[in-house]
Amino acid sequence: MKLSLSALSLHLWLLSSTMIASVVSDSSASQVASHIANSVHESAAPKGSIAEQSLEKLMAQRKDSDADTQGKSTPVPILTIHFGHKDSPVPEGAQQDYGQLFHENSTLGLGWGWNCDLHKIGSTRERDVGDKYLRSFVIPDRHGKCAVSVPVWRVSLPAGSYTVRFSTTDTKNYEGASNQGCRVQGVPVGDLPAENSCAQGEDNACLVLRNVTVEEGGTFEIRGAYQAQCSGVNYVAFYTASDETAVALSTFSPIVKNVVDDSVAQSDPELNEFLLSIADENRDVIVTSVNAGYIDFAMNWLCSISKMGITNYFLVATGKYSYTWHGLSFQLVMNRDLLRNLPICRC
């Protein structure tokens, strides 16, 4: 019997994520302003919590009624702002921010900008790889030169509720970029669940907030600093608040369990036997990894799942030190009784 790695149920704790060109249906600035004014509706202010913004339940509902969502087009945003160099290209109909201080745009009737002149201190970037609209972005105070403790970007949107698409994509530094410290209208976007991802193609760090509110006389804001794990701001797009829009923007695909694809089925008998020896009755296997710096974390995790009676797991040691720690090597994950004898783990 073969077991496909694609059939494994991978329980991941994410430390986090083709550009979808964000355009406004009306290209002239005056039409944009009119569209914004007429599109936003008033509603009760959300709590600004992860639970309020999560698409988890909505995505589960969509899974049960795929027929109702097929063929529906994604609505165009009522305002899109791209961040980057002063001369960076932006999609047709989108507006530009190149790190300048907050200022009024008299044509649009809106104001936007930062509380620190990021353009002046050289905190904008344009990469030499990737989509031409995604390769430029603003870094919130890359070298700590701002007089303020936390860089904040604001836009004076009309009061109302919005669905927001927000990207921190860096086309050259996929692994080093982080949005963990970025907050969008008070919401820590790094804590949003996988269902809120709108990542697609090169735009790998895109997230959706389903319903954020701008109060009367207030502003919409993005805050965070490079030194506090908010490594960049690529673009932000605003839509009239709608659960349907939020779901349509999400690119999340749930893991399909117990499906073996012959094209990727295991051909190695020894590996297949190993996986089957660990898998539970549903043929699910939990896989995670550990290196030298996370051994304590891994031991705490092992203690917890041991108490829960979970046994269908194994760890991949990514270095010699973690593999040979306490001289246990592979037995660390195969012989659960050893866990109870370790001083660090009193299960």
| pLDDT tens readout for residues 191-229 | 899 999 999 999 999 999 999 999 999 999 999 999 999
Q: How confident is the model at residue 299 (pLDDT cuts 50, 70, 90)?
A: confident
- Nearest-angstrom CA–CA distance, 344 and 321: 17
Domain boundaries, the chain: 5-9+256-341, 29-249
User: Does position 256 have pLDDT exceeding 80, yes or no?
Assistant: no
pLDDT of 2 higher than 50: no
CA distances, 200 to each of 50, 251, 302 (Å): 22, 7, 34
Average pLDDT (183-197) is 92
pLDDT at residue 248 in the model: 93
**Residue 232 structure tokens:** 């960049």
The predicted-structure confidence for 57-103, as pLDDT tens digits, reads as follows 776 765 544 444 444 567 889 999 999 999 999 999 999 999 999 99
So what's the pLDDT on residue 67? 40
CB 62 within 8 A of CB 243: no
Q: What is the CATH number of domain 29-249?
A: 2.60.120.430
User: Residue 23: which pLDDT band, with cuts at 50, 70 and 90?
Assistant: very low
Q: Residue by residue, what is the 3-state secondary structure of the chain? A: CCCEHHHCCCCCCCCCCCCCCCCCCCCCHHHHHHHHHHHCCCCCCCCCCHHHHCCHHHHHHHHHCHHHHCCCCCCCCCEEEEECCCCCCCCCCCEEECCCECEEECCCCEEEEECCCCCCCCCEEECCCCCCCCCEEECCCCCCCCCCCCCEEEECCCCEEEEEEEECCCCCCCCCCCCCCCEECCEEHHHCCHHHECCECCECCEEEEEEEEECCCCCEEEECCHHHCCCCECEEEEEECCHHHHHHHCCCCCCCCCCCCCCCECCCHHHHHHHHHHCCCCCCCEEEEECHHHHHHHHHHHHHHHHCCCCCEEEEECCHHHHCHHHCCCHHHHCHHHHHHCCCCCC
- State residue 254's pLDDT score: 77
- Between 126 and 23, whose confidence is greater? 126
Instruction: Give the model's confidence band at 168: pLDDT under 50 very low, under 70 low, under 90 confident, else very high.
Output: very high
- For residue 221, what pLDDT is reported? 97
| Of 134 and 329, the one with more pLDDT | 134
Q: Say what the pTM is.
A: 0.64
How much is the mean pLDDT over the chain? Answer: 77
Taking residues 292-305, report their average pLDDT. 83
Q: What is the mean pLDDT of residues 255-282?
A: 73
Q: Are 111 and 157 in contact (CB under 8 A)?
A: no
Residue 223 vs residue 255, higher pLDDT: 223
- Cβ-in-10-Å burial (0-12, 13-18, 19+) of 110 comes to buried
For residue 140, pLDDT beyond 50:
yes
